Amino acid sequence: MLSAQKMCPICNKSVGSEKNLRRHYVRVHPERLNVLDSSKPSICRNTSIDCPLCEHSSTKFPNLLKHFTDAHDLSMKEEAHDFMSTSDFLNWKQEVERVTKSLFVKVRGTTLLKCVRGKKDIYVCHRSGKCRGKISNRVRHQKSQGSQKLNAFCPARMKVVVTEGDRVFLNFLPTHVGHGCDAEHLRLSQSEKEMIAKKMDTKRPMDDILQEIKDSPEPLGRLKLLTKQDLYNISRDPYVLTTVYSDFEISDWVNDDERRSSVLLFKPHGSTLDDIPELENDDFILCLLNQKQKHLFNKSDCMSFDSFETTSSSEYSLFYIACVIGETASPCAFLISNRKDSTILGLFLRTVISSTGVLSPRVVFRERNSILFDAWKRSFSHPSEQLFGSWQVEHEWRKALSKLVKSVDKKPKIYKCLKSLMEVSRASEFTELLNEITISTLAWDEIKEFESYFRGHFLSCPSLWARCYRPPKAIEINALFEKLYRTIKFVYIRYKMCETVCRMSDLLLDIVGQCVTGDFSKGIKLKGIRSQHRMAVNAEISVDQEDDCCWKVSEPSGEETHTQIVEKSGISCQCRMRCSDCGCCAHVYSCSCFEFVSRQIMCKHIHAVCLNTLSSSQSVGPKFNSLHDSTISDNDLVVETVDAENLEVIINDGNTNESVEGGKLEIQEDFNTILSMITTIEDVNLVKNAFRLILPTLCAMKNANNARPVVETAEEMSTTDY
């Protein structure tokens, strides 16, 4: 565990260890070296090495090896190996790990060796070492099999030296101590992941793949313990190529019957197009436009121009145009290419226009230096309003901070201040916060270059990026485009390599299909609703009701208290975007917070109002207001058995003037209240015990009038003299 931070008492600079503090004194305060302790600097980590077989502990590796030999009679003899290349060594290492059911991992970074002009790596058993952190501090639960770490030392290791000529010299200690060959603590190898990925690429059900692997005749190992979670992890792993396509296979992909209608233009490597002479032989172009959205594309008056650009020759850049369709932002046209100049982008835009007709967007969200939008302006009409997307501005700020600000400590502080400035909701607050940032942050001498950049490119046009200058509808549309951008970014990062362009295209077309059907926004909104509900339950939020339709919701944040106003709209909505616990949707209430205005979901303040309303109705309703009330016993909830003597009393007692429909509505409200309070299995059992005889009682009531004549006839028959 790392030691605590050290502070220089002269200049208040924070360093990580006593050794770094001494170095700081030598460089900055050499005249004050005498105030430091003359003792040797303390080591910044706990280097005690524990024996897994007894309580012995040592600080040096050779001493513990001697302890294994003397106290436990274990052989600590090393083996020497020589390999002609690194690939030979890695193949040998993989075979050793397979046979011994073990895993060797690098313990630290590579060390450069000047004497032999090579490098040295040390691989140790992955079970060796101590588990980081305490179980009580973990956010996630520990796995059922426990940590893979022994909390002790396993001596098995490999010391590898690689020379300039790729010659490998190895000292190998094969003895493992303190653990067995536990397959559940092993990892899947790269070759195993690729084998599984190929099976998954055939679109077979996961259960079939798992069963096939478990039924294979191979010996017991990590593959036999494969789960669906492993398959999900492999499908998300960007370093596992599920399918590798050649140029010929990409052509087959484009000519597939299901995909052909979505391909506007295709030019593979090593070919030419006679009607487009400006394209070079090595250019690759793939333009996609989903046929389902051509008519919607032309009707949209709000568009977004975005891109993911790369400088590597082995990767493709992605450009796309998106529009708003109803309450969903949908990508409409994609360009995948290894070129990103005005010639290619102009060709892409002309191809889209020839397929969809003239496009005249009124509002455009774009990057500040968007080469795609610049190509649009050179050929087509200019939109009446242009805005910078918030996600695009944040991305540009992070790049500028990384380039123009050298101080690592100041970068996150500046970014946090600028993001707060972008999200303020009133122009007066924007001016006040800008003055504070100018005095406290932008006045630092280290960031003069960034200050000049920010003033020149953003302070001159705050209406293009600041929230306080945008109408509510523009804020909502910005949030829709941002969600879409992050989804496409996830796909692009995974499949931007040339060999996986077909897989990337398939996923991009899937996103378009989800946007058309509404499944894309539904999943994101439901996830956000559940997340906001958990925040409302866990946060210290107070709710004060102003009147029947207005609430003041307060939440402490540090030394300040943030207050939001929640109002009831009076709309009776039955949409499916509801919180199952609160029994309400975002259309019934409105809130003044940023989450509601920008994302149009049930924020934590609306959840808090709903929970407060439920608790208030419960306090004046049933005889118990909480399923966890300690004054309730099981005897209070037991329904008495209904017999023939009191059945008629029950029936006659229900003959009141109250309408049946009104009573049913009241019962339904009570049931909804009870269901919203059920959170544990104890609650379920409690409610089951309370209602277990309601159905038999109702059935008996319905059959009571028919049952009595049948009994009388039976008695008469029993007294008849034959």
- Asked if residue 670 and residue 549 are part of one domain, the reply reads no
Give the SS3 label for residue 465.
coil
- Asked if residue 259 and residue 347 are part of one domain, the reply reads yes
CB count in 10 Å sphere of residue 251: 13
CA distance 24 to 9: 12
pLDDT digit string, tens, across residues 550-568: 888 888 877 777 888 888 8
Question: Which one-letter amino acid corresponds to residue 187?
Answer: R
- Asked if residue 40 and residue 55 are part of one domain, the reply reads no
At which residue do the structure tokens 């220089």 appear?
8
Among residues 311, 328, 310, 283, the alpha carbon closest in space to that of 319 is found at: 310
Distances (CA, A) of 120 to 78, 109, 372: 17, 9, 48
Residues contacting residue 71 through CB under 8 Å, at least 6 positions apart: 51, 54, 56
pLDDT digit string, tens, across residues 365-412: 998 888 888 888 887 778 888 899 999 999 999 999 988 888 888 888
pLDDT band at 570 (very low <50, low <70, confident <90, very high): low
Question: Which one-letter amino acid corresponds to residue 544?
Answer: D
Kindly give the pairing relationship between strand 302-308 and strand 385-388. unpaired
Task: Give 305-366 as a 3 state SS string.
Answer: EEEECCCCCCECEEEEEEEEECCEEEEEEEEEECCCCHHHHHHHHHHHHHHHCCCCCCEEEE
Residue 722 lies in a domain: no
At which residue do the structure tokens 């939109």 appear?
383
Residue 313 lies in a domain: yes
- Asked if residue 296 and residue 273 are part of one domain, the reply reads yes
pLDDT digit string, tens, across residues 460-482: 888 899 988 888 888 888 888 88
Kindly give the pairing relationship between strand 550-557 and strand 560-568. antiparallel
Residue 378 lies in a domain: yes
- Asked if residue 226 and residue 348 are part of one domain, the reply reads no
Residue 242 lies in a domain: no
What is the rounded radius of gyration, in angstroms, for the C-alpha atoms of the chain?
A: 35
H-only helix segments in 115-246 = 190-200, 206-214, 228-236
Element spanning 125, H or E: strand 118-125
Residue 715 lies in a domain: no
Averaged pLDDT score across all residues of the chain: 77
Question: Which one-letter amino acid corresponds to residue 15?
Answer: V
Among residues 641, 630, 632, 635, the alpha carbon closest in space to that of 693 is found at: 641
At which residue do the structure tokens 């046209």 appear?
333
- Asked if residue 58 and residue 35 are part of one domain, the reply reads no
Q: Which residues pair with 267 in a beta bridge?
A: 285
At which residue do the structure tokens 């990580």 appear?
16
The DSSP result for 356-396, as a single string, is: H-----SEEEE-TT-HHHHHHHHHSPPPSEEEE-HHHHHHH
> Is 70 exceeded by the pLDDT of residue 4?
no
Query: What is the pLDDT, as a whole number, of residue 67?
Result: 92
Residues contacting residue 104 through CB under 8 Å, at least 6 positions apart: 93, 97, 123, 124, 125, 126, 156, 157, 158
For the packed helices 371-379 and 342-356, what is the interaxial angle rounded to 10 degrees? Answer: 60
Asked whether the CA dihedral 568, 423, 478, 532 is positive or negative, the reply is negative
- Asked if residue 402 and residue 538 are part of one domain, the reply reads no
Half-sphere exposure of 341 (CA within 13 A, CB side): 7
Q: What is the mean pLDDT of residues 291-304?
A: 75
- Asked if residue 423 and residue 453 are part of one domain, the reply reads yes
Query: What is the pLDDT, as a whole number, of residue 710?
Result: 36
- Asked if residue 320 and residue 179 are part of one domain, the reply reads no
CA distance 36 to 25: 9
pLDDT digit string, tens, across residues 21-70: 888 888 888 887 777 765 554 444 456 788 988 988 888 888 889 999 99
CA distance 556 to 538: 13
CB count in 10 Å sphere of residue 135: 9
CB count in 10 Å sphere of residue 669: 12
CA distance 384 to 382: 7
pLDDT digit string, tens, across residues 495-548: 766 656 777 787 787 777 766 555 555 555 667 777 788 888 888 888 888 887
Q: What is the DSSP letter of 152?
A: B
Q: Provide the percentage of residues in the chain whose pLDDT is more than 90.
A: 9
Residues contacting residue 156 through CB under 8 Å, at least 6 positions apart: 102, 104, 124, 125, 128, 173, 174, 175, 176, 177
- Residue 420: give the domain boundaries: 393-464
> Is 90 exceeded by the pLDDT of residue 89?
yes
Give the SS3 label for residue 260.
helix
CA distance 662 to 569: 25
Q: What is the DSSP letter of 274?
A: T
Among residues 372, 246, 240, the alpha carbon closest in space to that of 306 is found at: 372
Of 588, 619, 650, at which residue does a domain stop?
619
Give the SS3 label for residue 177.
coil
Among residues 45, 43, 42, the alpha carbon closest in space to that of 2 is found at: 45
Residue 457 lies in a domain: yes
Q: What is the mean pLDDT of residues 344-359?
A: 86
pLDDT digit string, tens, across residues 677-722: 777 776 777 777 676 667 666 666 665 544 444 333 333 333 333 3
For the packed helices 228-236 and 206-214, what is the interaxial angle rounded to 10 degrees? Answer: 110
Residues contacting residue 523 through CB under 8 Å, at least 6 positions apart: none
At which residue do the structure tokens 């051509």 appear?
294
Among residues 188, 178, 504, 459, the alpha carbon closest in space to that of 318 is found at: 504
Question: Structural domain tally of the chain?
Answer: 7
Give the SS3 label for residue 147.
coil
For the packed helices 190-200 and 206-214, what is the interaxial angle rounded to 10 degrees? Answer: 130
Q: Which two tokens stand for residue 649?
A: 């009393």
> Is 50 exceeded by the pLDDT of residue 647?
no
Element spanning 546, H or E: strand 542-547
Distances (CA, A) of 520 to 289, 371, 425, 657: 18, 28, 28, 51
- Asked if residue 349 and residue 321 are part of one domain, the reply reads yes
> Is 80 exceeded by the pLDDT of residue 141?
no
Residue 191 lies in a domain: no
- Asked if residue 441 and residue 337 are part of one domain, the reply reads no
pLDDT digit string, tens, across residues 235-286: 766 556 544 445 556 777 788 777 777 888 888 887 888 888 888 888 889 8
CA distance 403 to 406: 8
Q: Both ends of the chain: CA-CA distance in Å? A: 99
- Asked if residue 528 and residue 638 are part of one domain, the reply reads no
Among residues 172, 162, 74, 80, the alpha carbon closest in space to that of 123 is found at: 172
Give the SS3 label for residue 671.
helix
Residue 716 lies in a domain: no
Q: Which two tokens stand for residue 511?
A: 């996103």
Distances (CA, A) of 636 to 640, 650, 687, 695: 10, 19, 12, 19
